[in-house]
Amino acid sequence: MTSREILPPPPAIVIHSLADAEAALVAASALGVSVTLISAPGAAGYAGPAWFRAVVEKARGGHPDVAATAILDCGDMPGHALAALRAGVRIVRFAGPTADKIADIARQYGAAVFAERPEALDLDGVAGDRVAACRKWLEGHRT
Protein backbone atom coordinates (compact mmCIF):
# COMPACT_ATOMS: atom_id res chain seq x y z
CA MET A 1 0.00 0.00 0.00
CA THR A 2 1.47 3.36 -0.96
CA SER A 3 0.85 6.60 0.87
CA ARG A 4 -1.51 7.69 -1.86
CA GLU A 5 -3.67 4.58 -1.56
CA ILE A 6 -4.95 5.03 1.97
CA LEU A 7 -8.64 4.81 2.66
CA PRO A 8 -10.71 7.91 1.93
CA PRO A 9 -11.24 10.18 4.92
CA PRO A 10 -14.54 10.53 6.72
CA PRO A 11 -16.74 13.52 5.79
CA ALA A 12 -14.57 16.60 5.45
CA ILE A 13 -14.98 20.18 6.63
CA VAL A 14 -12.75 22.99 5.41
CA ILE A 15 -11.42 25.00 8.33
CA HIS A 16 -10.02 28.53 8.27
CA SER A 17 -9.67 29.12 12.01
CA LEU A 18 -9.72 27.56 15.44
CA ALA A 19 -13.42 28.43 15.70
CA ASP A 20 -14.09 26.47 12.51
CA ALA A 21 -12.20 23.43 13.78
CA GLU A 22 -14.04 23.55 17.08
CA ALA A 23 -17.43 23.86 15.34
CA ALA A 24 -16.65 20.76 13.27
CA LEU A 25 -15.56 18.78 16.33
CA VAL A 26 -18.56 19.87 18.42
CA ALA A 27 -20.90 18.69 15.66
CA ALA A 28 -19.03 15.39 15.19
CA SER A 29 -19.07 14.78 18.94
CA ALA A 30 -22.82 15.42 19.15
CA LEU A 31 -23.42 12.89 16.37
CA GLY A 32 -20.82 10.38 17.52
CA VAL A 33 -19.09 10.38 14.12
CA SER A 34 -15.59 10.96 12.85
CA VAL A 35 -14.65 13.99 10.76
CA THR A 36 -11.85 15.23 8.55
CA LEU A 37 -10.55 18.74 9.09
CA ILE A 38 -9.00 19.98 5.86
CA SER A 39 -7.36 23.31 5.26
CA ALA A 40 -8.33 25.65 2.47
CA PRO A 41 -6.67 24.97 -0.90
CA GLY A 42 -3.00 25.86 -0.78
CA ALA A 43 -3.10 26.86 2.90
CA ALA A 44 0.33 25.34 3.49
CA GLY A 45 1.76 28.24 1.51
CA TYR A 46 0.03 31.15 3.20
CA ALA A 47 -0.91 29.88 6.67
CA GLY A 48 1.85 27.33 7.12
CA PRO A 49 2.11 23.92 8.72
CA ALA A 50 2.84 25.28 12.21
CA TRP A 51 -0.41 27.25 12.19
CA PHE A 52 -2.39 24.27 10.94
CA ARG A 53 -0.91 21.88 13.49
CA ALA A 54 -1.54 24.36 16.33
CA VAL A 55 -5.17 24.89 15.32
CA VAL A 56 -5.86 21.18 14.99
CA GLU A 57 -4.08 20.28 18.25
CA LYS A 58 -5.89 23.00 20.21
CA ALA A 59 -9.28 21.96 18.81
CA ARG A 60 -8.63 18.26 19.43
CA GLY A 61 -7.58 19.04 22.99
CA GLY A 62 -11.08 20.28 23.74
CA HIS A 63 -12.74 17.30 22.04
CA PRO A 64 -10.67 14.19 22.75
CA ASP A 65 -13.69 11.96 22.14
CA VAL A 66 -13.84 12.77 18.40
CA ALA A 67 -11.90 10.77 15.84
CA ALA A 68 -10.60 13.53 13.60
CA THR A 69 -8.34 13.31 10.58
CA ALA A 70 -6.45 16.47 9.63
CA ILE A 71 -5.24 17.24 6.09
CA LEU A 72 -3.11 20.24 5.15
CA ASP A 73 -3.55 21.25 1.51
CA CYS A 74 -0.20 21.94 -0.15
CA GLY A 75 -1.56 22.55 -3.64
CA ASP A 76 1.00 21.62 -6.26
CA MET A 77 3.99 23.02 -4.36
CA PRO A 78 6.43 20.26 -3.39
CA GLY A 79 8.34 22.57 -1.04
CA HIS A 80 5.18 23.23 0.93
CA ALA A 81 4.45 19.50 1.16
CA LEU A 82 8.00 18.77 2.35
CA ALA A 83 7.85 21.58 4.92
CA ALA A 84 4.53 20.22 6.22
CA LEU A 85 5.98 16.73 6.58
CA ARG A 86 9.07 18.06 8.38
CA ALA A 87 6.76 20.03 10.71
CA GLY A 88 4.94 16.85 11.70
CA VAL A 89 1.78 17.09 9.60
CA ARG A 90 0.73 13.48 9.07
CA ILE A 91 -1.53 13.88 6.03
CA VAL A 92 -1.05 16.34 3.19
CA ARG A 93 -2.97 16.99 0.01
CA PHE A 94 -0.53 17.40 -2.86
CA ALA A 95 -1.24 17.28 -6.58
CA GLY A 96 2.01 18.32 -8.22
CA PRO A 97 4.01 16.54 -10.89
CA THR A 98 6.32 15.02 -8.27
CA ALA A 99 3.47 13.36 -6.35
CA ASP A 100 5.10 9.91 -6.37
CA LYS A 101 8.33 11.30 -4.90
CA ILE A 102 6.41 13.26 -2.25
CA ALA A 103 4.42 10.11 -1.40
CA ASP A 104 7.68 8.16 -0.97
CA ILE A 105 9.08 10.84 1.33
CA ALA A 106 5.81 10.99 3.26
CA ARG A 107 5.99 7.26 3.84
CA GLN A 108 9.45 7.74 5.38
CA TYR A 109 7.87 10.19 7.84
CA GLY A 110 5.03 7.78 8.59
CA ALA A 111 2.71 10.20 6.81
CA ALA A 112 0.34 10.01 3.85
CA VAL A 113 -0.54 11.99 0.74
CA PHE A 114 -3.89 12.54 -0.92
CA ALA A 115 -3.86 13.77 -4.52
CA GLU A 116 -7.51 14.81 -4.60
CA ARG A 117 -9.45 17.02 -2.23
CA PRO A 118 -12.38 15.22 -0.66
CA GLU A 119 -15.86 16.62 -1.01
CA ALA A 120 -16.17 19.06 1.87
CA LEU A 121 -18.26 21.71 3.57
CA ASP A 122 -16.33 24.98 3.37
CA LEU A 123 -17.06 26.97 6.51
CA ASP A 124 -15.86 30.15 4.82
CA GLY A 125 -19.18 30.20 2.97
CA VAL A 126 -21.35 29.61 6.03
CA ALA A 127 -23.16 32.53 7.61
CA GLY A 128 -24.69 32.01 11.02
CA ASP A 129 -24.47 28.90 13.18
CA ARG A 130 -21.43 26.95 12.00
CA VAL A 131 -22.01 24.09 14.42
CA ALA A 132 -25.49 23.58 12.98
CA ALA A 133 -24.09 23.71 9.44
CA CYS A 134 -21.44 21.13 10.34
CA ARG A 135 -24.00 18.92 12.01
CA LYS A 136 -26.28 19.05 8.95
CA TRP A 137 -23.33 18.25 6.65
CA LEU A 138 -22.15 15.34 8.79
CA GLU A 139 -25.66 13.93 9.12
CA GLY A 140 -25.99 13.95 5.33
CA HIS A 141 -22.64 12.24 4.82
CA ARG A 142 -22.68 9.43 7.32
CA THR A 143 -21.04 6.28 6.02
pLDDT digits (tens, 9 = 90+) for 48-72: 999 999 999 999 999 999 999 999 9
| Level-2 CATH architecture, domain 3-140 | Alpha-Beta Barrel (3.20)
CA distance to 103, 115, 127, 132, per residue, from 112 (Å):
7, 10, 33, 31
φ, ψ of residue 73 in degrees (nearest 5)? -80, 120
Q: Where are the domains of the chain?
A: 3-140
pLDDT surpasses 70 at 2: no
- DSSP character string of 85-138: HHTT-SEEE--STTHHHHHHHHHHTT-EEESSPPPEEEGGG--S-HHHHHHHHH
pLDDT surpasses 50 at 35: yes
